[in-house]
Amino acid sequence: MTAFADRSCAPLATVSGCDLRVPLVQGGETGYANFDYAASAPALAQVTDRVAALLPYYASVHRGAGYASRISTDCYEAARGSVARFLNADDDQVVVFTRNTTDALNLLAACVPGDTVVLDVEHHANFLPWTRHGRRVVPAADTVEETIQRVVAELCAKPAALLAITGASNVTGELLPLERLAWIAHQCGTRILVDAAQLAPHRRIDLRAAGIDYLAFSGHKAYAPFGAGVLVGRRDWLDAAEPYLAGGGAVRAVSADGVEWAPAPQRHEAGSPNVLGVAALAAACDALASLDETEVLEHERYLTHRLRYGLKTVPGVNFLRIWRDSADAVGIVAFTVDGFEPGRVAAYLSAEHGIGVRDGRFCAHPLLARLGVDAALRASIGLGTTATDVDRLVDAISTLVHKGPSWDYAETDGQWNPAPETRPFAATDAGAAPCGF
């Protein structure tokens, strides 16, 4: 790591758990190194502050005259403006609050009046919902350019209502040229949906400039882990479709003989909404928008390069990549280690080094099959990641390869764990963890 010794890289923002201490299987404890941002990012301080401030006023939103209800309603509706500004949404695009990206994409799938074209590199959330009206899968090529040409050929061969595309791969972090794909889709009379679950926490998105018709992302991946997501998109399909859920809040009037549904976004937000989750999502959007874009990008690229550089020096480490000509990626590094099951490596990193990574197939089974691996490891970088964290991960992988683990591990029902497990967990040691299960 000497090539990087001249630069200090501190966290760019304060996140929950930044001072977390975790037990080690061999005894003692250490600071937790979180490389699982791509699964769920910790809450930003601004997010927890806003939720704490709103909690005393928490009440049911809409149609309530009480002061707390008025405050909660104002916060809930103002959150639409925060999201719209964060994405520079068009005037005709509405903000619908959902549970997460999967929920948002299933909502839109029920509104699409025709076929949807997808790539085989998508997260299951952007692969499975589109079968309702017809899903056409385009196999990705080895290059971005050839993949785009395949998309063009598919859209030209037969009309499609929607092109549903990832903003950033949840496996490798690689980016596609969204503005170009939007232009291509529109030339073919097709709208475009971007799954921005991995893109929104890392890159600024301008819906107007890029020509993106629909976009979805999750709060829990964008430093707002309070159970809210969002679908932003053009109104006409959302207004024409049946409500996602039938119930109170989605209606204008109801009689014994029929119902008059409200327009979007209320049309698809039946029931009592997640007020605190929406407030958290809005706070995260505001906080991310306030950060210096260049500084965020430099922080991420530096740490990602540092991690790749370090892992390249370890024998047997192999990186996953979709396209050999991809020019950019967010802070995600997927890899395997020869001779070691990914699940075993992840268990070793956690148990012996206090490092959290993700292992498995990342809800992207078709992509992992294309890449020729049954499972892999994924280290993802966020605003709270430091150069020290990166060096700890590299050193831990190097120790594993050169010396092996110092503890035994066993696989049960597909899950690797230390054998024996000496660390306290809430499920087995009452009071050992804050939840006290």
Indicate if the alpha-carbon torsion angle 16, 104, 300, 36 is positive or negative.
Answer: positive
How far is 303 from 119, CA to CA, in rounded Å? Answer: 29
How far is 381 from 428, CA to CA, in rounded Å? Answer: 31
Backbone torsions φ then ψ of 93, nearest 5 degrees: -100, 135
Evaluate whether 118 touches 154 at the Cβ level (below 8 Å).
no
How far is 342 from 231, CA to CA, in rounded Å? Answer: 34
| Residues pairing with 233 in the sheet | 94, 214
Question: Catalytic: which of 18, 188, 363, 435?
Answer: 363
**DSSP-assigned letters across all residues of 166-216:** ESB-TTT-BB--HHHHHHHHHHTT-EEEEE-TTTTTTS---HHHHT-SEEE
- Greatest CA separation for the chain: 75
363 is catalytic: yes
Angle at 38 between CA 369 and CA 182, to 5 degrees: 75
How far is 145 from 325, CA to CA, in rounded Å? Answer: 8
Query: Which residues are marked as active site?
Result: 363
